Structure 1
Amino acid sequence: MKKIMFYCQYLSGMGHLVRSTEIVRNLVKDFQVYFINGGPEIAGFEMPSQVELIRLPALWLEEGKFTVGDNQSVEDVKEIRKNLLISEFDKIKPDCLITEFFPFGRHKLFFELIPFVEHIKNTSPTTKIVCSLRDVIGKESEPEEEEIICNLMNRYFDLLLFHADSNFQQFSESFTRHKDIKSEIIYTGFVTQSPKNYANDASPLWGDVTETAKILVSVGGGRIGYELLETVIKASPILAKEIPHFIKIFTGPFMPEDKVRQLRQLADGRLGDRSNIQIETYTLQLLEYMKTADIALSLSGYNTIMNILSTGVRAIVVPVGHEKQDQEQLVRTQKLESLGLVDYILPQNLTASHLVQKIISGLNKNQSWRKCKFDLHGAETTSFVLKNYLSHKAIF
């Protein structure tokens, strides 16, 4: 069985980890997989049991600066991580390294990634290096940065796996210098989370909620999105005058505790016992909640959108960015809205009254027209492509 190392680093949210995990879930059927996790631990998050987990000392961004665990310095952690990557590679000797998002992003991690791929090329030239890339890069690159990306791709990488349906997003739309990339570019389709057997009765998830609109609200990892959750709570009393409803909110594991506390206090102040709002941090059953909800409110990151497409739930999304120039969610959202697959509110237009109007309008829409025709089998296709590629067979 061939061996794959998969490098994943999530610096702000958890979307990169979720997508990578779904890919790995399929890779373990055909490969021995070693998963390099460089982000903070997430309580309750499950990695497939067959995966060998290599945990680097955690590193993440807060207010644009690297943050590490207690009693550690950033410089010490950087050095440890750089050396650990190389030593683990030498020990495992994988047939393939997959880097998630790098070199199209993760340039803040050059301190470890450049020595890592350089070491591989120098000591193990037969090891294939593959880039795993989402549909929309988002941030517009400067010419100098695009030049760096092209040079890195052409110097170190053998294959680019683009996790999009070509009918939705072309690689040329994501990267202007696409013609300068020499490696083969494969469209895998969208990577979606593994479907589960949904119960027809939603009561185990939602409790005793009958003849009431079930509204699911989530914001991914939770480092961004507080404003949406706050607005939902403020909108609930207004909405209650029109529609009986129950709101389930997931703040995400990275939302600061003081922010979660503020949301709970706001809900208490608005609704007394909060009988129609529940606030939790994280769930492994988000897909099940989405499948059984009457409407879902969220940001429009890659994985959330995939959940919306795969479950067919009515959806209102708020496209936000980790940085002002980050247009990833907006690009994806506007395309989906033009196809009638989601409705959206721009962050600057997010008010309680406007949100109530959108919710009422969304609940009145028929779900049957929300059939998604995109390829949602990106994880399976990724495994199929790599199995053939590493066996020197035709990819398709």
Structure 2
Amino acid sequence: MSDRPRLALYVQHLLGIGHLRRAAALARAFVDAGAEVLVFSGGIPVPDIDFGAARLLQMPACLAADAAFSALLDAEGRVIDSAWKDSRRELLLKEMAAFQPDAIVIEMYPFGRRQFRFELLPLLYWAQNQGLLIVSSVRDILVDKGRDDRVLEAADLIRRYFDLVLVHGDPRLVPFERTFPRATAIADRLRYTGYVVEKPAAASATYDRNEGEVLVSAGGGAVGGPLFRAALAARGLSGLKDRVWRFVTGRNLPEEDFGYLKRASGVDSGIIVERFRSDFADLMARCHVSLSQGGYNTVMELLALRTPSVIVPFSEGQESEQALRAELLAERGALDVLPAEHLEPDTLAATLTRRAQIGALPIELDLDGGRHSAEITLAALAAKKAH
């Protein structure tokens, strides 16, 4: 057996792919810091996610039935039942015991992913009995569900089971208590890591944005249809209409929306439509201006690359996370934000043109969250073993 510390990372993405991408970046950072890492992924497999030298164990997959998370479906589109839950719980515990980790990092829980208590509570009980370091990994902003009982439950679970809470953010932008009112009750466990950002080669390259495209994207694309259609309508009204507009839709954009865009590109050579680009970071680094949804990963990469950006946050149902982060950054002049419910073509066209002229204004934030997460966790593990 290797002398390196062994770390298990649990992640469950349900709608977009942001959680999985952030987990992959963390896994690579832990490996770089000297750990042996096994990622337990419970969402639908996503091609081209880079886990580096970390190993990936794909559990029986499930996803959200819709943007409102009204139900959980298995890989065949069936609502998951108690037999499915029992089977996955047994597999998770079996594989976890076989790996024999020194530490477990659980993404989002107990601040989210409450639907997976059926396997996570038994996992926490097992890990505690094994004397493992138990870590929660959570983004800077939580979605406000308006449920004080859930906030109290999360704080209680942190105090009962967890040694650390890695908050992937910077309190200079938004302190954790802004969206988790019981933060003071778990303050001794909280550690701000800075934002977890991909480290693309493009970050060190120099491009002439004056020659660049208008880049339109929506993460995995599952809920990107309205944004893409609005961008297409805004193109002819924009001062940027003579530039190439590149739509990178994501693999999960519904076929109806993808077909609509492809038909437009068929009659206009200035429109390029693609599902996926492995060099997406390079596209962001050299584009004239970016239009995108406000996912954590995309926004932080845009900031790191100093890309002029207009953000249209996803805000269906009770989703508030993307909007709050984008608004806080807009207040500092780092980007522009347009609410999805007011996405009129003329307003969008004017905002894109204006942001392209202004450029990207720098903002002081810690964007080295992967490395800091690894350092904090492995230091805590060493201290736990020493006692």
Given the two structures, how large is their TM-score scaled by the length of structure 1? 0.90
The match for 1:372 is 363
Select the residue among 166, 172, 175 that pairs with 2:171: 166
CA-to-partner distance for each residue in 1:251-278, whole Å, 9 max, x for gaps? 112222232123323x15xxx5231111
The change in CA–CA distance for 1:235 and 1:212 in structure 2 (over 3 A counts) is farther
Question: Identical aligned pairs, as a percentage?
Answer: 27
The match for 1:31 is 35
The match for 1:87 is 94
Letter in 1 for 2:234: A
Cα distance between partner residues in 2 of 1:71 and 1:193: 32
The match for 1:351 is 344
Matched, 1:186 2:179: no
CA-to-partner distance for each residue in 1:117-173, whole Å, 9 max, x for gaps? 122223x1x101100010101224411111211121111111101111121111111
Letter in 2 for 1:224: V
The match for 1:108 is 115
Letter in 1 for 2:338: I
The match for 2:65 is 62
Residue 25 of structure 2 contacts residue 51 of structure 2 at CA under 8 Å; is this kept in 1?
no
Residue 45 of structure 2 contacts residue 58 of structure 2 at CA under 8 Å; is this kept in 1?
no
Letter in 2 for 1:142: R
Residue 154 of structure 1 contacts residue 182 of structure 1 at CA under 8 Å; is this kept in 2?
no
Q: CA deviation at 1:297?
A: 0.2
Letter in 1 for 2:214: I
Residue 22 of structure 2 contacts residue 297 of structure 2 at CA under 8 Å; is this kept in 1?
yes
Residue 249 of structure 2 contacts residue 276 of structure 2 at CA under 8 Å; is this kept in 1?
yes
The match for 1:257 is 255
The match for 2:323 is 330
The match for 2:128 is 121
Letter in 1 for 2:334: L
The change in CA–CA distance for 1:211 and 1:308 in structure 2 (over 3 A counts) is closer
Cα distance between partner residues in 2 of 1:371 and 1:137: 25
Determine helix, strand or coil for the equivalent of 1:35. strand
The match for 1:98 is 105
Determine helix, strand or coil for the equivalent of 2:142. coil
Select the residue among 6, 19, 34 that pairs with 1:3: 6
The match for 1:299 is 293
Instruction: Give the 5 Å matches for 1:278-289.
Output: 278-289=272-283
Letter in 2 for 1:244: D
Aligned length: 376
The match for 1:137 is 142
Residue 212 of structure 1 contacts residue 246 of structure 1 at CA under 8 Å; is this kept in 2?
no
Residue 335 of structure 2 contacts residue 355 of structure 2 at CA under 8 Å; is this kept in 1?
no
Q: CA deviation at 1:239?
A: 2.6
Gapped regions of structure 2 (runs ≥ 5): none
The two structures, once aligned, show a CA RMSD in angstroms of 2.1
CA-to-partner distance for each residue in 1:69-109, whole Å, 9 max, x for gaps? 23976224322211111001111110000000110000111
Cα distance between partner residues in 2 of 1:259 and 1:247: 16
Determine helix, strand or coil for the equivalent of 1:329. helix
Letter in 2 for 1:283: R
Cα distance between partner residues in 1 of 2:84 and 2:51: 24
The change in CA–CA distance for 1:366 and 1:219 in structure 2 (over 3 A counts) is closer
The change in CA–CA distance for 1:324 and 1:93 in structure 2 (over 3 A counts) is same
CA-to-partner distance for each residue in 1:289-347, whole Å, 9 max, x for gaps? 111001000011111110111000100001123x4222101110111011000111111
Given the two structures, how large is their TM-score scaled by the length of structure 2? 0.92
Cα distance between partner residues in 1 of 2:122 and 2:309: 43
Residue 157 of structure 1 contacts residue 183 of structure 1 at CA under 8 Å; is this kept in 2?
no
Cα distance between partner residues in 2 of 1:40 and 1:131: 22
Cα distance between partner residues in 1 of 2:207 and 2:300: 23
- Bigger drift between 229-238 and 159-168 goes to 229-238
Residue 284 of structure 2 contacts residue 307 of structure 2 at CA under 8 Å; is this kept in 1?
yes
